[in-house]
Amino acid sequence: MMRALEGRVAFVTGCGSQGPGWGNGKAIAVTFARHGAVIYGVDLNADAAEETRRIVESEGGRFIAGTGDVTDKARVDALVADCVVRLGRIDVLVNNVGHSVPGDPATMPEEIWDRQIDVNLKSAFLCCKAVLPLMEAQGKGAVVSIASTAAIRYTGKPQAGYAAAKAGLVQFSRVVAIDYARRGVRLNCVLPGLMETPLVEKLAQDFASSETGLDRGAFYRRRHEQVPMGRMGEAWDVAEAALFLASDAAKYITGTEILVDGGLCAAVRG
């Protein structure tokens, strides 16, 4: 049976994990490779990218690791150019980098706000700026951006910068999707809710060492209880949604979003 991305080249940003286990980008890269894609994976952490490469290659896939900050235009341009030289094309772009810092406008330093916009939104703009002309020339391409339920709902955390940036990413994707609809290029977003990833484990450890007096287990229980399904999701859930949007199964889908949140947004008014 033909695999969903057989023979395609996928440029995946944030392809590593921020610790042991499976983050969204790592799971996306491995899932895409299992479905036949050649992966050009980029991460700020070279060791994290190499770990993903080892997994893909151990399963018989092909993976080229790149290192760089995708908020830097020169670096993005160099990575995209290297991918094209080595692999000939880019069929799928996954904008996966992201970072959340809590705070409201009164308490958030300006430099933190700027960094939130850069990491969560500008990175996608720069990658699209470099990749979309290639896809247009090919007559076909798919862009999948990993946003967040914070883009459309207030889900209990004061994260003004992150929410604004992810909302911007969703609307950016919608607008560009319309502009490129007749050029053969589709743009869509995945909106994860509360996911159990290495980043969340770090948050749990920070929570346990804070002045709350609550332990790591309490942190996890609280997050599980917030979700109507009674549990957080996994990076694989995000990866499967991204795979669908990247594949021809979604060939008539553009300018929209898939919620991967266990019913969280349906249960939150907004």
Q: Which residues are known catalytic residues?
A: 162
Contact 16, 51 (CB under 8 A): yes
How far is C-alpha 1 from the chain's CA centre?
28
- N residues, the chain: 270
Query: Can you give the C-alpha Rg of the chain in angstroms?
Result: 18
Quote the tokens at residue 259: 């919620």
Beta bridge partners of 13: 42
Q: 142: closest CA among 3, 6, 7, 11?
A: 11
Where do we find the tokens 């893909």? 56
Query: Cβ of 216: how many Cβ atoms within 10 Å?
Result: 15
Give helix then strand counts, H and E, for the chain: 9, 9
What 3-state class would DSSP assign to 39? strand
The torsion angles phi and psi of 64, rounded to 5 degrees, stand at -110, 125
